[in-house]
Every structure is written in structure tokens, then in C-alpha cells.
């Protein structure tokens, strides 16, 4: 009998002929996350991954594997021989280390190996009877097949795998299985959450941060880099492009209506993001916009801003309110960093009375007063790149 970890994958079962590609992506991401902890062996059997490692490392391994997208459960299991006596011994080892007093349970058997003579329902009943005989009286343990306090699982494959403790994963799709996105990473609460949510759908994430030094502090840039580091715990390696918008803002303030500043600057951001994406093969842009949250996030404003790029713009937070977004920021660990009081370029140059229902015709008239190509190219030429 051996102690192993098993990893159960979620939506990957739905991927048909592409399933192996998704499995490989998920397993590669697991290996990346646990390389510093180490393991002895790893193998895939009947769509589950099994990891042999030092049992003392299980807690650390589970913590890191839980950060990998595409996983629904990580379980601590006993790998037994495929016979009744060995499986019963596995059950005893598990239950002897659990708090089962005054609780209800259910046994579920999954008989993948159909050569195993006893069918799943009968074997579940048999093992349930074994548990009741050995634990019911002294622990007041009872069966409840509809709503048990805990479940005991038995998988009959090449070996028999017995387990009861399941740790929930994040679900989603393996990172890198859904293309490459460029996240417009501000120093706020929303954009890291947006990046996390798109990464959960399998998109590999790199970031673009706009600042306006010397009008904003270099600490604001460092804050964005720190947020990128937090996000990279889930996304792996990422690149952060840092573009200075100071000259663009000065040109807008000099040549355009003040109340159009936010819309005009966001259109610059979209065009710059598109140029960086074309050069680096990014498939889409990602923003942290939530409908109606600020002046630039009205339907009219977003429509005019999106006109500046041909790339698709993903907005995973569009229908969430601020409380929901904060809850997710707390979950991924970015909230405390996001609320540090350093101004970003958008807030520094935001007009006191921003336009909320811009007309594309008038915005383009204002842009005709600007040397757009030159301003964008200079900003890109002077950008800094940070690899996380």
C-alpha cells in the first residue's frame, strides 16, 4: 500500500480529440508549480494524474497544485492491491485518521476495470458494511446515501485507489490552452482580477502598464510590477510592458477639450496595446472594466474606445459589482497591494467633469489635432520591459 496524491481534471473531459493536448498543458503547469518541492513519480491513468512523493510534502504540493487551472480536486489516496482485503486495510488507515464521530457517510465505487468481478453498487454496499461493522458502534457512524457528512471513494483501475479527503481546485482550463492575451494592468483592484479570470479560461497572460512619470511616482510602477508578481503565482512567467503616457497627456491637454481626456487617452492605450500585440503575437486585449463603474465604462464610452483597435477586447468583470470584484481580489491575494495609495496615470489626468456619452465623430475631430503616430511610436520606443 502506498500514499499518493491524485489530481482530477474538470472540463478537460469535454475536449474530445483535443483532450490529450489539454491534459499535457495541465500536467506541464503542475510540474512547473511543484518543481521546487519535488516528487518521485507521476503518471496518468484513466484521465486522473497520480503523484508519488514524500508524504511530508503533501500539504505543500496540494497548496501549489491548487493554483493550477483545469483541476477540480486534489485527493490524498491509498493505492492498494486490487482485492477486498487490501482495500479494507486502506479504508482502515484512512478512517483511523479522520474525525468521524457522530457523522454520516456514503461509499462510492468507480469500477473502471470491468474485469473486477464485483460490480460498483455491490462493492460499495460491501465496503459500507465493513465500515459500519468496524466503526459504527464506537463512533455513532451512520450511512446516508443522499446527504452524507463525508464520502469514501474507491476507484478500481490497474490498482485500487481509496480516498476520502478531497481538496477543491480552481477548475477552468489549463493555462496556455486558449491563446495569448495582453492585460492592461493598472494599479487598481479590477485589472488583476480580470487577468486571473481570463487565465482561468486557459489564456496565457502578459501585461501592459501605463504610467506618466514624473507626474506619477515610480512607486506606482513598482506597485503594478508587484501586482504582476502576485498574478504570476497563477499564470507562471509573464512579461510586463511599461509605457510612459506623459507626453501623450500633455499633447491632449494642449490641443483637445479637457472633458475628452479620458476617452482620448484610452484610445491611445488601445492603439499602443494593438501595436505591441501585433509584434508579439497576442490574440486579444483584456481590461478590468465593469459596466457603469466610472465615466469611461458607460456603453457609449466603451464603444468609442473600442473603435480604436481591431483586436477583440475581453472584459470578464463587465457584469460584476465592486463587492464581487473585491471578493475575488481578496481570494487571489491582490487586494492589499491594489489599495496602496499611489496614483496611476488615469487618475492624475482625469478631468473633473469627464464626458460620459462621447460621440465618435467629435473624438476623431479632436484626434485630428494630434500627431498620433509620432506620439505612439515614441511611447513604444521608450517603454521598459520587465520579465516576471
Residue ranges for the binding site?
184-185, 209-210, 266, 288, 297
Give CA separation, 334 vs 88, 106, 194, 254, in Å. 45, 39, 12, 36
Question: What are residue 79's DSSP bridge partners?
Answer: 2, 161
Give binding residues for ATP as ranges. 184-185, 209-210, 266, 288, 297
Give CA–CA dist 222/50, Å, rounded.
40
What is the length of the chain? 388
Contact between 52 and 4 (Cβ < 8 Å): yes
Cross-strand bridge partners of residue 43? 50
Report residue 186 as a C-alpha cell. 493598472
As a whole number of angstroms, the distance between CA 377 and CA 277 comes to 14
Amino acid at each position: 500500500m502506498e500514499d499518493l496524491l491524485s489530481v482530477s481534471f474538470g472540463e478537460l473531459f469535454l475536449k474530445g480529440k483535443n483532450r490529450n493536448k489539454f491534459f499535457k498543458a495541465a500536467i506541464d503547469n503542475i510540474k512547473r508549480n511543484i518543481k521546487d518541492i519535488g516528487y518521485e513519480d507521476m503518471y496518468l491513468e484513466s484521465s486522473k494524474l497520480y503523484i508519488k512523493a514524500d508524504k511530508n510534502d503533501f500539504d505543500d504540493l496540494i497548496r501549489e497544485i491548487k493554483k493550477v487551472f483545469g483541476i477540480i480536486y486534489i485527493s490524498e489516496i491509498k493505492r492498494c492491491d486490487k482485492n477486498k482485503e487490501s482495500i479494507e486495510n486502506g479504508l482502515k488507515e484512512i478512517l483511523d485518521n479522520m474525525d468521524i464521530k457522530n457523522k454520516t457517510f456514503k461509499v462510492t465505487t468507480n469500477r473502471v476495470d470491468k474485469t473486477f468481478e464485483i460490480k460498483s453498487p455491490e462493492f460499495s454496499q460491501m465496503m459500507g458494511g465493513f465500515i459500519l461493522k468496524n466503526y459504527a458502534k464506537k463512533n455513532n457512524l451512520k450511512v446516508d446515501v443522499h446527504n452524507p457528512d463525508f464520502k469514501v471513494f474507491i476507484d478500481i483501475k490497474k490498482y485500487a485507489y481509496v480516498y476520502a479527503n478531497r481538496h477543491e481546485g480552481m477548475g477552468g482550463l489549463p493555462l496556455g490552452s486558449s491563446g495569448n492575451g495582453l492585460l492592461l494592468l493598472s494599479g487598481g483592484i479590477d485589472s488583476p482580477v480580470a487577468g486571473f479570470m481570463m487565465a482561468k479560461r486557459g489564456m496565457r497572460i502578459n501585461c501592459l502598464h501605463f504610467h506618466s512619470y514624473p507626474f506619477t511616482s515610480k512607486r506606482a510602477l513598482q506597485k503594478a510590477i508587484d501586482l504582476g508578481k502576485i498574478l504570476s503565482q497563477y499564470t507562471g512567467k509573464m512579461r510586463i510592458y511599461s509605457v510612459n503616457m506623459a507626453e501623450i497627456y500633455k499633447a491632449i491637454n494642449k490641443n483637445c477639450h479637457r472633458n475628452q481626456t479620458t476617452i482620448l487617452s484610452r484610445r491611445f492605450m488601445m492603439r499602443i496595446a494593438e501595436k505591441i500585440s501585433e509584434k508579439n503575437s497576442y490574440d486579444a486585449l483584456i481590461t478590468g472594466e465593469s459596466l457603469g463603474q466610472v465615466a469611461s465604462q458607460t456603453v457609449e464610452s466603451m464603444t468609442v474606445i473600442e473603435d480604436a483597435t481591431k483586436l477583440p477586447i475581453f472584459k470578464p468583470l463587465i457584469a460584476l459589482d465592486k463587492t464581487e470584484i473585491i471578493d475575488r481580489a481578496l481570494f487571489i491575494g491582490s487586494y492589499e497591494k491594489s489599495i496602496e495609495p499611489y496614483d496611476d496615470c488615469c487618475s492624475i489626468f482625469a478631468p473633473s467633469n469627464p464626458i460620459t456619452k462621447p460621440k465618435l465623430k467629435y473624438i476623431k475631430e479632436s484626434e485630428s489635432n494630434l500627431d498620433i503616430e509620432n506620439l505612439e511610436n515614441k511611447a513604444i520606443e521608450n517603454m521598459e520591459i520587465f520579465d516576471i
